[in-house]
Amino acid sequence: MCGRYVLKRKDLEALLQELGVKDPREFASRYNIAPGTVIPAIRATAEAGREAVGLQWGLVPWWSKDAAGGARLANARAEGIARKPSFREALRKRRCVVPASGFYEWQTVGRAKQPWYFHLREERPFVFAALWESWRSPDGVGLETCSLITTTPNELIRPIHVRMPVILPAGAVDLWLDRTVTGPEKLEPLLIPFAADAMVATPVSTRVNSVRNEGPECLEPATPLRDRDDGPQLSLGLG
């Protein structure tokens, strides 16, 4: 799964400009974004344009009786996504992208968890493939939510975690956001692992383990945990 990520203000501004979107709202850099919070996203409009919106991370299907289950749908598995009741209509009609600077995954080392930070080479910003949904409570209160799509890990992430978020290459964003495209046969081929050789992995501070911690300190490089107190240090191809 993808349960935390980073978005720096300068990266959001660069992506908005690249995708032709204007957003007058102020945004502060965030280094430990977790499900349940409102996150920036970009989606197509009915007028063939694009807009920046704030979506609560954790999808609530439109047919759900309440919003309590949203936290369980922070991620949507790419495999079979077109057949799953919670996601199939959103895949056809309500796709979006979520800007990011990087993301975290945790590696189990004995009884401990080592956080790793993944980002693109040269620290280029990117977008996750995501779905959004509009839900309304019985008393008429509206809520817009989203889910990040995950896939099998690439060679860099595989030693650390069994899933990774879908990162869309620049050439795939237009197709993903195209409202006239509704067929899963055109969309599902985009939901594949991003190239491992275009990414970098860095072990970071366990500060990020707690959602209460924020700030660039979460990205401080750390010595990887050892498998045993007297064992060899874990080794990964970090590019």
Decide if 169 is inside a domain: yes
Name residue 30's beta-bridge partners.
Answer: 7
- 78: domain CATH number is 3.90.1680.10
Instruction: State both tokens at 85.
Output: 């009741």
Decide if 165 is inside a domain: yes
- Domain of residue 44 covers 4-105+125-195
Which residue in the list 2, 96, 146, 218 is annotated as catalytic?
2
- By three-state DSSP, how is residue 170 classified? helix
Q: pLDDT (tens digit, 9 = 90+) per residue, 165-200? A: 999 999 999 999 999 999 999 999 999 999 999 999
Decide if 219 is inside a domain: no
Which residue in the list 105, 133, 146, 218 is annotated as catalytic?
105
Q: Is 96 a catalytic residue?
A: no
Decide if 114 is inside a domain: no
Decide if 23 is inside a domain: yes
Decide if 232 is inside a domain: no
Decide if 148 is inside a domain: yes
Tell me how far apart the alpha carbons of residues 218 and 213 are, in angstroms, rounded to a whole number. 8
Nearest to 3 by CA among 223, 222, 209: 209
CB 67 within 8 A of CB 139: no
Instruction: State both tokens at 143.
Output: 């809520």
Task: Please provide residue 121's backbone torsions phi and psi, each rounded to the nearest 5 degrees.
Answer: -60, 145
- By three-state DSSP, how is residue 152 classified? coil
- pLDDT-based confidence at 53, cuts 50/70/90? very high
pTM of the predicted model as reported, rounded to 2 decimal places:
0.92
Tell me how far apart the alpha carbons of residues 177 and 49 are, in angstroms, rounded to a whole number. 10
* Average pLDDT, rounded, for the chain: 92
Decide if 17 is inside a domain: yes
Number of structural domains found in the chain: 1
Q: What is the pLDDT of residue 46?
A: 86
